[in-house]
């Protein structure tokens, strides 16, 4: 079997790791992959955005299944192009991926479908934004509607901050066209949760609940990043809550999309906030989360590949079940000094050999590459995900943190508190 995985981050390394574990004889290609995927998959020098080139590659190499990691190619229509060419691909069409590509679209869909989310208004000019912000008051959240690499949502404590955010989007065009439409919504207070669903467009299968850590600083302080770590499972997301999210959020969402003739086949990522225990949607993504995937997949029993194949072929997953190991996983992200701002690249990474031999550790690369001398060097802001496994989140976190300490590169930064909310919940004895 030949599989192509599109993308270059820790999420894609996790996907390749899982697929290779399930099907060791499969020939996997990573486009473009990273310094860590090379041991499991052949790197293809094509970026995720080079849709026509990727389709040519899939055709010429007779790829049996393509799996797409990042949102940009999905929103740009990679699935439509592959399908038109008769190629089997896992992911939503451009029409369905609009759920992530346009926050204005997503909010309107939620409203129609009765999915709980923050009250909002959509604006297209600064004058309109100012009126709305002054009327709603602070705190308030100002969001660029389009794709902004996770940086387009600004939580504003004061009206002045909100006006600045609106100005930067609508006048200064900080996010280009992605900020031409702006969603202004009420601030919701509560704990966040990522709940991902595999869906064939009708049936939704929940994956293990996880929690991301977006801010750069410990205790969730400082600017937001792509995600500094994640853990799974999350005890507050018990079966009852997962069922509730399925009934009130995931199913109404896929039904509303199907009604608009935009069947969603792929991974529906529900970014939730629990307001006094009630789940509200903060955002949808049309793909696996990064770094949530690095914490979820090591706990998954059964075949992900089979589910991918079914969904990609347009078959039903009604009969499918996913099993989960009764353990915990914590992924600590090692970042380059300066991230999420500017940072240096090309720093040599040293990984003690024994880390690779520990069955309770998985090293998932993100911003790494091999230099001409075959040394592993940094090539991005988020460099490596260190996944620790254990019987509790505390044990998994200790494992992850110890290994994160032992890996060396100049300017290495990581949060030492990944999973702290769950560890506090586990603490009282």
CA distance 336 to 367: 9
By the rule CB under 6 A, 210 interacts with ligand GLY: no
Q: Write out the binding residues for ligand AMP, residues 214-233 only, by CB under 6 A.
A: 214
By the rule CB under 6 A, 188 interacts with ligand AMP: yes
- Helical packing angle, 103-113 and 94-101, nearest 10°: 100
155 interface partner picked from ligand AMP, ligand GLY, none, CB below 5 to 8 A per type: ligand AMP
Are the C-beta atoms of 253 and 285 separated by less than 8 Å? no
For residue 73, the minimal CB distance to ligand AMP (Å) is 19
Cα separation values, 378 from 149, 180, 215, 289, 371, Å: 20, 34, 21, 22, 9
CA angle 150, 71, 273 (to 5 degrees): 50
Q: Write out the binding residues for ligand AMP, residues 230-289 only, by CB under 6 A.
A: 271, 282-283
CA distance 224 to 170: 21
CA distance 225 to 149: 10
282 interface partner picked from ligand GLY, ligand AMP, none, CB below 5 to 8 A per type: ligand AMP
**Contacting residue, 185, 200, 292, 417, with ligand GLY by CB under 6 A:** 292
By the rule CB under 6 A, 263 interacts with ligand GLY: no
Q: Write out the binding residues for ligand AMP, residues 122-141 only, by CB under 6 A.
A: 141
285 interface partner picked from ligand GLY, ligand AMP, none, CB below 5 to 8 A per type: ligand GLY
- Contact flags string 221-250 toward ligand GLY, x per CB under 6 A: ------x-----------------------
Nearer to ligand AMP, 11 or 18 (CB): 11
Are the C-beta atoms of 366 and 385 separated by less than 8 Å? yes
Nearer to ligand GLY, 29 or 288 (CB): 288
Rounded-to-5 percentages of helix, strand, coil across the chain: 35, 30, 35
By the rule CB under 6 A, 191 interacts with ligand AMP: no
Burial (0-12, 13-18, 19+ Cβ within 10 Å), 168 = middle
Residues near ligand AMP, by CB under 6 A: 118, 141, 143, 150, 153, 155, 185, 187-188, 192, 214, 271, 282-283
Residues at the site binding ligand GLY, with contacts judged by CB under 6 A: 150, 212, 227, 285, 289-290, 292
């Amino acid at each position: 079997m030949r599989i192509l995985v599109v993308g270059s981050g820790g999420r894609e390394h996790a996907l390749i790791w899982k697929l290779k574990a399930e099907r060791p004889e499969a020939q996997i290609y990573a486009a473009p992959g990273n310094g860590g995927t090379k041991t499991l998959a052949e790197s293809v020098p094509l970026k995720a955005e080079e849709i026509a080139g990727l389709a040519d590659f899939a055709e010429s190499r007779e790829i049996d299944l393509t799996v797409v990691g990042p949102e940009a190619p999905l929103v740009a229509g990679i699935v439509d192009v592959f399908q038109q060419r008769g190629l089997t691909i896992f992911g939503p069409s451009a029409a369905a991926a609009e759920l992530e590509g346009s926050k204005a679209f997503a909010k309107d869909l939620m409203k129609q479908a009765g999915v709980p989310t923050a009250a909002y208004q959509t604006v297209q000019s600064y004058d309109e934004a100012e009126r709305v912000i002054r009327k709603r008051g602070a705190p308030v959240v100002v969001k660029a509607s389009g794709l902004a690499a996770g940086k387009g949502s600004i939580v504003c404590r004061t009206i002045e901050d909100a006006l600045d955010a609106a100005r930067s989007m609508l006048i200064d065009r900080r996010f280009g066209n992605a900020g031409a439409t702006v969603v202004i919504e009420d601030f919701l207070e509560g704990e966040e949760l990522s709940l991902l669903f595999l869906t064939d467009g009708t049936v939704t299968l929940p994956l293990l609940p996880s929690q991301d850590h977006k801010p750069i600083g410990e205790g969730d302080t400082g600017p937001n990043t792509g995600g500094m770590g994640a853990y799974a499972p999350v005890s507050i997301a018990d079966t009852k809550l997962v069922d509730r999210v399925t009934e009130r959020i995931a199913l109404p969402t896929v039904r509303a999309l199907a009604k608009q003739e935009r069947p969603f086949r792929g991974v529906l990522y529900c970014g939730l906030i629990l307001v006094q225990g009630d789940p509200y949607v903060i955002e949808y993504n049309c793909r696996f989360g990064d770094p949530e995937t690095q914490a979820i997949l090591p706990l998954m029993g059964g075949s992900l590949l089979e589910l991918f194949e079914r969904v990609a072929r347009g078959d039903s997953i009604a009969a499918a079940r996913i099993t989960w190991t009764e353990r915990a996983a914590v992924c600590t992200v090692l970042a380059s000094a300066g991230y999420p701002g500017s940072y240096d690249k090309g720093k040599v990474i040293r990984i003690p050999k024994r880390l690779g031999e520990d069955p309770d550790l998985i090293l998932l690369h993100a911003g790494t590459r091999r230099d001409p001398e075959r040394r592993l060097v940094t090539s991005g802001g988020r460099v490596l995900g260190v996944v620790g496994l254990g019987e509790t989140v505390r044990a998994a976190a200790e494992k992850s943190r110890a290994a994160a300490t032992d890996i060396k590169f100049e300017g290495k930064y990581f949060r030492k508190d990944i999973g702290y909310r769950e560890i506090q919940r586990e603490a009282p004895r």
